Amino acid sequence: MSILVEICENLQKGKAKIVKELVTQAVEQGINPEQILNEGLLAGMNIVGEKFKNNEIYVPEVLVAARAMNMGVQIIKPLLAAEGVKATGKVCIGTVQGDLHDIGKNLVKMMMEGKGLEVVDLGTDVSPETFVQTAIEQNCQVICCSALLTTTMSVMEEVVKKAEEAGIRDKVKIMIGGAPVSEEYCKKIGADVYTVDAASAADAAVEFCK
């Protein structure tokens, strides 16, 4: 079995330490870091994403796979930068103001990174102004808002309004997600897309960044 296949398979099982060791070995063997990323790490994460979308696996499997991917990426990140490998797009993501929950947000972030996007993580309790300002300053193509609470999801509407006021609404797509959020709510507040899970969110962001 090739080492890239091993990376891919261990990533799917969430074996973080093994993935880290295998990526290190692959680098030592002289395998191109971009190849390690695409054929090992991202290939594994894509399979995880598909299985998650199809309800074949659940949140824990995604969390551990994403952690394994991050550990692998940390090894090759400096090498990728040195080779001038660029991200396929840029997204800023955060949990909206008043809400401190971040498991869902982190899952989406990791899935997006797994698709080769650069993600600016604004953390939790993020104001509408910060979302918009970051998108402007960092040239993000997508703003991604997460909320767990019914009491905080209304902040998403504020993000849409602030983006309009700042004159960037036609340049930036706004994605929303989280437990209480729905397609109906997305339409109501004028956001661009709602996705039911983290993998679908990553797919949608990739489309927006093309």
Partner 1 sequence: MTTRERCMNILHYKDTDRIPAVHFGYWRELLDEWARQGHITPEMAKAAVRDNSPEQRELDKIIGWDCNWYNTVGTNNGLSPRFKREVLETFPDGTQRVLTSNGVIERIKPGVVSIPSEDDYLLKDREAFETLFKPKMQYSPERVNTEALKKFNETRATDIPIGIHVGSVMGHIRDITTVMGMSYLIYDEDEELFSEIVDTYAEMQYKCVEAALATGAQFDFGHYWEDICYKSGPLLSPEIFDELCRKHYKKRNDLLHKHGIDIISLDCDGVTEKLIPTWLETGVNVLFPIEIGTWGDQFEPARKKYGKEILGVGGMDKTAFRKDKQAVDVEIERIKRLFDLGGFIPCPDHRLMPGSKFELVQYYAEEIKNIRI
Query: Which ranges in 29-150 belong to alpha helices (H)?
Result: 33-35, 43-53, 59-83, 103-113, 128-137
Minimum CB distance to partner 1 smaller for 140 or for 158: 158
For strands 90-95 and 173-177, give the pairing. Answer: unpaired
Give residue 181's identity as a one-letter amino acid code.
V
Min dist. Cβ of residue 94 to partner 1 (A): 14
Q: If 0-12 CB within 10 Å is exposed, 13-18 middle and 19+ buried, where does residue 166 land?
A: middle
* Nearer to partner 1 (CB atom), residue 14 or residue 89: 14
- Say if CB 14 and CB 64 are below 8 A apart: yes
CA dihedral (186, 192, 197, 199) in degrees, to 10, reads: 180
* Complete edge-to-edge strand list for the sheet that includes strand 173-177: 118-121, 90-95, 142-146, 173-177, 193-194
Considering beta carbons, is residue 95 or 134 the nearer one to partner 1? 95
Minimum CB–partner distance for residue 155 and partner 1 (Å): 12
Q: Closer CB to partner 1, residue 172 or residue 195?
A: 195
Give the torsion sign (CA, 70, 107, 82, 84). Answer: positive
Smallest separation, CB 141 to partner 1 (Å): 27
Q: Distance between alpha carbon 135 and the CA centroid of its chain, in Å?
A: 16
Closest contact distance (angstroms) between CB of 78 and partner 1 is: 25
Q: Is 14 in the site for partner 1 (CB under 8 A)?
A: yes
Which residue, 31 or 181, is less far from partner 1 as judged by CB?
Answer: 181
Q: Does 15 bind partner 1 (CB under 8 A)?
A: yes
Query: Which residues, 169 to 188, sit near partner 1 by CB under 8 A?
Result: 179-180
Residues 85-114 that bind partner 1 (CB under 8 A): 98-103
Q: What's the alpha-carbon Rg for the chain, to the nearest Å?
A: 17
Spell out, one character per residue from 143 to 162, where the chain touches partner 1: x when CB under 8 A holds, - when not: -----xxxx-----------
Scored b (16 or more CB within 10 A) or e, 18-41 reads bbbbbbeebeeeebbbeebbebbb
Count of residues interacting with partner 1 (CB under 8 A): 31
**Minimum distance of partner 1 from residue 170's CB (angstroms):** 31
Contact region with partner 1 (CB under 8 A), list: 56-64, 163-171, 184-192, 202-210: 56-64
Binding site for partner 1 (CB under 8 A): 13-17, 55, 57-61, 63-64, 67-68, 98-103, 124-125, 148-151, 179-180, 196-197
